[in-house]
Structures are given as structure tokens and as C-alpha cells.
Chains A and B, each alone.
Chain A
Amino acid sequence: GAGVSQSPSNKVTEKGKDVELRCDPISGHTALYWYRQSLGQGLEFLIYFQGNSAPDKSGLPSDRFSAERTGGSVSTLTIQRTQQEDSAVYLCASSGQPELSGANVLTFGAGSRLTVL
């Protein structure tokens, strides 16, 4: 697609429920990232996928969080047994081939706002 698409845009759930957030990256982009942003805070790295390589999961805050990327395209971030502190905007970004410098230029989706009651 023309941009990074995320769904749902807003999700309200009760504590203890599981949620799934979806990201559809820009067509042809090999790298996909998940970040989360709490109110008034910066972006917290969660997980990074690059092509067929093993994902970098070092930012996932607990084992309640998991993500997968099927067919090198769409990604789903799953949060099990949600807690109130999980409330945040979850941002997905994608990028093309790494530049010589080794860092990718990210294009972000509009985000999924999660509220855990």
C-alpha cells in the first residue's frame, strides 16, 4: 500500500483480556518495527523484523507480549492478559533496504491507541 496501515485505530479492553494489533507495512519494505508511546513520553522500542532473519525481541517488556510477521509482510502484535500499564499508542513502522550506514529510515503508521480499563 501507499503507507503503513494499522488496525484497530482505537481499542478499549478490560484488564486481563488479550488484544491483537495489526500492521500492514509499505509494499516491498523488508524491515518492520513496533514501538509504543505512553502519554507524553518518547518511543519505546518493542520488536524489529528484518527479512527472514530472526526478529530482535529485546524490547518486549514481558512474556505477555509477542509478535509475528507472516510471509514477510503483515505483522500482528499480541498482548495477553492486558494490564492497565499496557495502555499506550502502539506504533508500527517499516523501512526498505538498510542504507550503507546501517540504519533504516522509518515510515510510521497512524498507531493503535490501546486503553486497558
Chain B
Amino acid sequence: QKEVEQNSGPLSVPEGAIASLNCTYSDRGSQSFFWYRQYSGKSPELIMSIYSNGDKEDGRFTAQLNKASQYVSLLIRDSQPSDSATYLCAVSSGTGRRALTFGSGTRLQVQP
């Protein structure tokens, strides 16, 4: 079992719709959770961080964390073609090593 799992996609949504991206992780001691966006040929950039159960909203983005279910998600409201990218879920290990463990990413396509 991979430490951080994501559906590779592509996830295709029409412009203006809500895109829902999901991630599960195996280390129950994980403490910090991040969503990075990576455009093709570019390096990842941080979108959201979340540390406690519940929802965290930032503009059109909402991160949701459920530690009991070991599940973190990212909702993108009013999706735009410019949101088309690969979204990487990253988790901080609970073992003391601070390096982030990344999922393989979900490719999102927003159709105009």
C-alpha cells in the first residue's frame, strides 16, 4: 500500500462546476496535510495546508480533513480552465522525519 494515494484521473469537469479531489494516507500519526498544484512542465506550488479536522476555505478552494478516516480532499468551486493541472496531495509523516510524502497526483481538466 502506498503511503499517500490519489486517483490519477484525469478528472474532467465543465467550467463553473465544483471539482472534488481526494487523497487517502496510511500513516495514522500524520499531522500536516498539503495540496500542491503542478502545471505541465512546471514545479509544484502550494495551494492549501490543513492541520486539524474539518474544513479550511481560501477563496475558491476548500480543504477538508478527516483524520479518523485518513482522508483529505480539495474542493475547487467555480472551476476555471486555468485550474487544469495536476494536484498533488502531500502528508507530513508522524515518525519525526519532516520530509513530505507526496501522492502521485490527480490530473484535472476543466472543459470551457
Q: Which residues of A contact B (CB under 8 A)?
A: 31, 33, 35, 41-43, 45, 48, 50, 56, 58-59, 91, 98-99, 101-111
Contacts and interface: CB of A to CB of B under 8 A. Distances in A.
A105 B46 CA distance: 8
B70 interface: no
Given A41-B104, A42-B88, A103 B43 contact: no
B31 interface: yes
Contacts, number: 62
Interface residues of B, dominant DSSP: loop
A59 to B, nearest CB: 7
Nearest to A34: B99
A102 B103 contact: no
A17 to B, nearest CB: 25
A87 B76 CA distance: 33
Given A41-B104, A42-B104, A102 B98 contact: yes
B49 A45 contact: no
